[in-house]
Structure 1
Amino acid sequence: MKAIASLSATLCAASLAAAPFLAQAQVSAPAPASVPAPNAAPAVPAQPVTPTARELSFGSHPLQRLDFYRSALPGPRPLILFVHGGAWVGGDKSDSTGSAKIRHYTQAGYQLASVNYRLLPEVDIEHQADDVAASLAALLDRSAELGIDTRRVVLMGHSAGAHLAALVATDPRYLKRYDLTPEDIGGVALLDGAAYDVPSQIVDAGPLLGFAYQVAFGSGSSRQLSLSPANHAGGDNARDFLLLHVERPEAQRQAYRLAEALRGAGTRATVAGVPGRGMEGHNRINAMLGRSDSQATPIVDEWLAGLFARSAF
């Protein structure tokens, strides 16, 4: 418990340090005002509208909920399912998505959902991955009602959420319970994730956080490997991966380790770095995604466009 608290406290401290960036990410730059006609009232700049969330349940636990944001465009649309971070012990669907991300992707024609999942220490990581799989199944079961194109599905995750998204997209056990396979996922976008290769992550983390990771993932190599997406990447995977990292050496190593395993299985995997140092950069990549001044936004947008252009539907 002390180790889990340490991991959570480290994350919280980093989040507080990045608070100015998180707050800034919620403010959109105003649209340029048009030149008013003579004697006309000053024009009011149009502000982008963030769609209202519709909360859906996929289980009986209070955290087995997701927020669904409908696309601004009609018809069946691609789905992005976002998995929040929080060191597997915290975070929330409402505070980990960012209004810029919601506006950007719904206006671009995507249905967007942000999922909660049960947290350590109440449940283990296996149950967290199951929650992600269950939430995806619930959305696809209601695809006609929600306007989801089931052939175009993307998982997106940040930090611990990137680990869970990658695990569900590489280890078929989680989706199998819901009559789905990793190949039902068109693409996976991972934002500065962790623990793609749990044993090496524990070594990289150092003594204190390494012990905290052992509490979360177990001290035995068998369980650590079973929770490592890189260990499962040799089998059936989601069809395409984008792995973003900031200027954190351990995050970069984890991204390349997973990409190498995916490519070895014939799965397309793209790795890209964006500016941002340490935990400040780690928080910023998520908070800023969807803004025009985020260097991650065009990378993700281009990958999404290429993903669906390459896919045969």
Structure 2
Amino acid sequence: MRYLLFILIWWNMSCTTKGEGDDVEPVIIKFDTYQYKNIDGVSKNLLSLDVYYTSDISNKKPIVVYVHGGGWSIGDKASQLDNKIDLFRFLNYVFVSINYRLSPFSFEIDNTSRIKYPDHNIDVADALLWIYTHIGSLGGDKNKIALLGHSAGAHLVALTGTNPMFLNDVGLSLFDIKGVACIDTESYDVDEQVKNGTNQEMYINAFGFGETINKEASPLFNIANGNTYPGFFIAKRGAAGRIAYADEFIDTLKSKGVSVSEVDGSIYDHAGINNAIGDYGETLVTDPLIQFFAKCFE
């Protein structure tokens, strides 16, 4: 009910235009694409990000950075965004959706020069550096950045929020990330998925066979004593085994003192739980996510 009220308030405000005698300029929604780095031979689109912001850039706003899914091999920053754009516009956040290099599709597990881990996470970190450096000119507050990812993108943000080497390599740290929201992934333990998962070829295509490297690529195995991690939001769903992977990650985070919010979105399918975010009247995932980001940006 509270979220529905928010939407109605936002709709009324967004439909207001400057009339005779008004002193306030209308807020204009803007959209721009930026290339965050260049690699010879790689499509500019794969190394770019989209920023959704407003004409009011004087008051710095929190930033939510979205990383799309697609098995690390398909997908695009423009997919499944309509509800999210509306939601974060209403919340007065700057919303950024990023692309990254993709592993081959169809799979090429014998191609030793293919894009695979850690390439995807390196790109995410480089995109975050661009955002941290440039977002102020688009009305964003670089000190209030949170991550949101679905499926393979949920793995990428979870690893960015647990393995500090990616952020450290670009001069940032885990302290620069205020929260991480993971929407429906079973890839918290990559090594387990490579060895025993139902989508082994997809994981091998994106990560390879090596146990050592695959544990390095697993958010579960990067939670250690003595590190300070951002808060996490975990949306889980599906069969008991799939939920168990999320629960193991949640329990491990909590055992190290990390704040975790969680929801069971099993009423949705894999795509549906992602599309639900910001959907009109949706409360199961959207309301707790709104609360999570609000806490991150306090």
TM-score scaled by structure 2? 0.80
CA contact (8 A) 1:187 1:240 kept: yes
Aligned partner of residue 152 in structure 1, secondary structure? strand
- Structure 2: give runs of 5+ residues left out of the alignment: 1-6, 13-26, 105-113
CA contact (8 A) 1:71 1:110 kept: no
- 1:303 pairs with 264, 289, 292, which one? 292
Residue 38 of structure 1: aligned partner: none
1:225 pairs with 2:215: yes
Distance in 2, matches of 1:201 and 1:299, equals 29
Distance in 1, matches of 2:273 and 2:192, equals 23
Question: C-alpha deviations, 1:253-288, integer Å up to 9, x for none?
Answer: 2221221222222211222112335xxx11011112
Aligned partner of residue 265 in structure 2, secondary structure? strand
CA contact (8 A) 2:233 2:260 kept: yes
What amino acid is the match of 1:286?
N
Distance in 2, matches of 1:69 and 1:143, equals 11
Aligned partner of residue 234 in structure 1, secondary structure? coil
Distance in 1, matches of 2:165 and 2:254, equals 21
Q: How does 1:98-117 map to 2 (within 5 A)?
A: 98-117=81-100
- Once the two structures are TM-superposed, the CA of residue 85 in structure 1 deviates from its matched residue by 0.2
RMSD: 2.3
Residue 154 of structure 1: aligned partner: 146
Residue 174 of structure 1: aligned partner: 166
Residue 62 of structure 2: aligned partner: 78
CA contact (8 A) 1:162 1:193 kept: yes
- 2:232 pairs with 241, 250, 255, which one? 241
CA contact (8 A) 2:28 2:54 kept: no
CA contact (8 A) 1:73 1:109 kept: no
Residue 49 of structure 2: aligned partner: 66
Q: Kindly tell me: are residues 113 and 171 of structure 1, through their superposed partners in 2, closer, same or farther at Cα, counting changes over 3 Å? A: same
Question: C-alpha deviations, 1:190-248, integer Å up to 9, x for none?
Answer: 10023111133345623xx2243233222221111010011001153542000001233
Aligned partner of residue 254 in structure 1, secondary structure? helix
Distance in 2, matches of 1:79 and 1:288, equals 20
Aligned partner of residue 247 in structure 1, secondary structure? coil
What amino acid is the match of 2:70?
G
CA contact (8 A) 2:28 2:55 kept: no
The number of residue pairs the alignment matches comes to 259
Q: How does 1:77-96 map to 2 (within 5 A)?
A: 77-96=61-80
Residue 126 of structure 2: aligned partner: 134
What amino acid is the match of 2:160?
V
CA contact (8 A) 1:204 1:250 kept: no
Identical columns (%): 28
- Once the two structures are TM-superposed, the CA of residue 166 in structure 1 deviates from its matched residue by 0.7
1:56 pairs with 2:25: no
Q: Kindly tell me: are residues 264 and 292 of structure 1, through their superposed partners in 2, closer, same or farther at Cα, counting changes over 3 Å? A: same
CA contact (8 A) 2:162 2:222 kept: yes
Q: Kindly tell me: are residues 240 and 285 of structure 1, through their superposed partners in 2, closer, same or farther at Cα, counting changes over 3 Å? A: same
Residue 268 of structure 1: aligned partner: 259
**Structure with greater helix percent:** 1
TM-score scaled by structure 1? 0.76
- Structure 1: give runs of 5+ residues left out of the alignment: 1-27, 33-48
Residue 286 of structure 1: aligned partner: 274
Q: Kindly tell me: are residues 290 and 72 of structure 1, through their superposed partners in 2, closer, same or farther at Cα, counting changes over 3 Å? A: farther
CA contact (8 A) 1:72 1:109 kept: no
CA contact (8 A) 1:188 1:238 kept: no
Distance in 1, matches of 2:157 and 2:124, equals 7
What amino acid is the match of 1:64?
L
